[in-house]
Structure 1
Amino acid sequence: MSSIPAAHGLRFAFGTLSVLPVNVTRWDRGAARGGMLCAPVVGAVLGLGAGLAGLVLLLLGAGPLLAAVASVAVPAVLTRGLHLDGVADTADGLGSGRPAEDALRIMKQSDIGPFGVLTLVFVLLAQVAALAEVYSGSWVRGAFAAVVSGVAARLALTLAARAGVPAARPEGLGAAVAGVVPVRVTYGVVAGVGVGVTAVGAVCFGVYGGVRSGLAVLLALVVAEALLRRCIRRFGGITGDVFGGLAETAATASLVVLALG
């Protein structure tokens, strides 16, 4: 990949998956492909910000719970809460019991229904509780967990953008990124990121720490894939809201795995 397509891909990734000031100069499927391949990079940057926020509070004398709240808040702020809104809207659509067209219309409404509220509350509680548990053991482990969850969340988006996954609507982010990444490339990125996370975890925390880090990413993707398939059956494909739901689901699952044991 030449430097120009890579630059366009990075701009697309940061411009669509964060509020960081990036000028997206191309909005075609080539840029979308590069953007979805670069999605884990965005996750790493947001995760570093989350870990730094938790570390600062711990250094100022705060406890693990407050540090965890800060670490969860940073990605929410840096994405304008779009992923959290997506998981809530996806829950409303799945829980509505309506035909696909009606469910998609419910998801586009500005308000959040009871399924969305409950899901959002449980997701945030799980993320904060898991991070607080990890921070209570070590600030280094807590900060690393924040990075891993950010990477896993956006790696789930790379997986969801693989060829063969349809869009539920003809417009929106889902339509822009649906099926843009070749399957072989997708699994290559997934394998590379998984090996990288495992290696860093092993260097920082030993072999067991490395294995658990890799397992956190793997299980996060398994859970996200299960949700993706459910959404495809229910809505006929993916939407921007589904992408948000996948990201938050993967982030939560990875944090829970890292908090266990």
Structure 2
Amino acid sequence: MTALRARRAETPGHSRRRSSALDPAALRALPMAVGMFTVLPLPASRSAQDAAEPGLGGWALRWLPLVGALVGFLGWALSLVFWRGHDGGAAFLGAVVWVGVLALLTRGLHLDGLADVADGLGSRRPAAEALAIMRQSDIGPFGVAAAVGAVLLQIAAAATLLGGASRPQGLVLLVVAVVAGRLAALDAGRPAVPPARPGGFGAVVAGTASVAVRAVAIGATLVLGWLLLALTATSLVAALWLPFAVLVGLAAGRLVTWHVVRRLDGITGDVFGAVIEISTTVTLLALAAVVAWGGLL
């Protein structure tokens, strides 16, 4: 662990000072985060290489949940082409559209990260060799299984939710699930988690999410999500289930992070993608359980 701390101290971007709430990098990092994590064209967006500039990478990670909310909303809006609320229209097609839009808007970036991590960990090779496998451009059988499995589970869970929810409820549930995945990535950027190698996005943002930043982001999501769902849910149990589902998704993300650090001695950009996909999937499944166990919405 001493070696890991030393390596992190030498990593570019970890010598920067703590950013204040008025840090100019915060506003500069918002369009950069949208440009990095989505296909949405913004004139002021920056490239991933620019994230290495002191302060920008950490702020890009902090904006990630908000970017996720935007992506989730756009996916929900397009799902309305086939789904009209509850059993109106085709909930399954609406779910397929929603998941497809998420993948398209994010360029499949997070699914690719999940596939790479699955290939690396599935190889059962030492850390250095597993990291080399993760950097290869091709996808192996473990990666295919992980990515396809995540997509299928997300579609099934989203279809279950849409089949038992009104349009406002569907908006809240789907957007919160996407945000939960990004919150898990923010949690993976906590100071206790080192980067696995000195270069790449993982090295830039690892350790940049303080306890205060994570607490505010997670707390705001839990409270706001619960309040919005409580306005439309017919049962308080259903509304209370939302923050519980988010916490379950965050726990899944932390478990993935712990396992990766144990195997690879740190995290990479691919690991953030894997954490996002797994946490989003688990949150969706936890939310869908409410509908599957009695349609409490």
**Identity of counterpart residues, as a percentage?**
41
**TM-score, normalization by structure 1:** 0.94
Match runs of 1:85-124 below 5 Å? 85-124=112-151
**Cα distance in 1, alignment partners of residues 205 and 144 from structure 2:** 27
Cα offsets for 1:189-248 (capped at 9, x unmatched)? 222222222222222315223211111111100000000010111111111111110000
Q: CA deviation at 1:186?
A: 1.9
Letter in 2 for 1:146: L
1:37 and 2:27 matched: no
Aligned with 1:50 (options 57, 75, 92): 75
Aligned with 2:221 (options 193, 217, 222): 193
**Cα distance in 1, alignment partners of residues 190 and 23 from structure 2:** 22
**Cα distance in 2, alignment partners of residues 90 and 130 from structure 1:** 23
Runs of 4+ in structure 1 displaced over 4 angstroms?
A: none
Change (3 A) 1:34 1:151: same
Aligned with 1:203 (options 208, 212, 231): 231
| Higher mean displacement: 145-154 or 29-38 | 29-38
Matching residue of 1:5: 25
* CA-atom RMSD in angstroms: 1.8
Q: CA deviation at 1:62?
A: 4.7
> Quick check: 1:145–1:258 contact (8 Å CA) kept in 2?
yes
**Cα distance in 2, alignment partners of residues 144 and 183 from structure 1:** 26
| Higher mean displacement: 225-234 or 20-29 | 20-29
Q: Which has the greater radius of gyration?
A: 2
1:241 and 2:270 matched: yes
**TM-score, normalization by structure 2:** 0.83
**Cα distance in 2, alignment partners of residues 196 and 20 from structure 1:** 26
> Quick check: 1:87–1:248 contact (8 Å CA) kept in 2?
yes
Aligned residues: 261
**Cα distance in 2, alignment partners of residues 248 and 137 from structure 1:** 23
Structure 2 segments unaligned to the other structure (5+ residues): 1-20, 291-297
> Quick check: 2:115–2:143 contact (8 Å CA) kept in 1?
yes
Cα offsets for 1:164-205 (capped at 9, x unmatched)? 211112111101111112223222322222222222222231
**Cα distance in 1, alignment partners of residues 126 and 23 from structure 2:** 45
Structure 1 segments unaligned to the other structure (5+ residues): none
> Quick check: 2:114–2:274 contact (8 Å CA) kept in 1?
yes
> Quick check: 2:172–2:228 contact (8 Å CA) kept in 1?
no
Aligned with 2:165 (options 119, 138, 141): 138
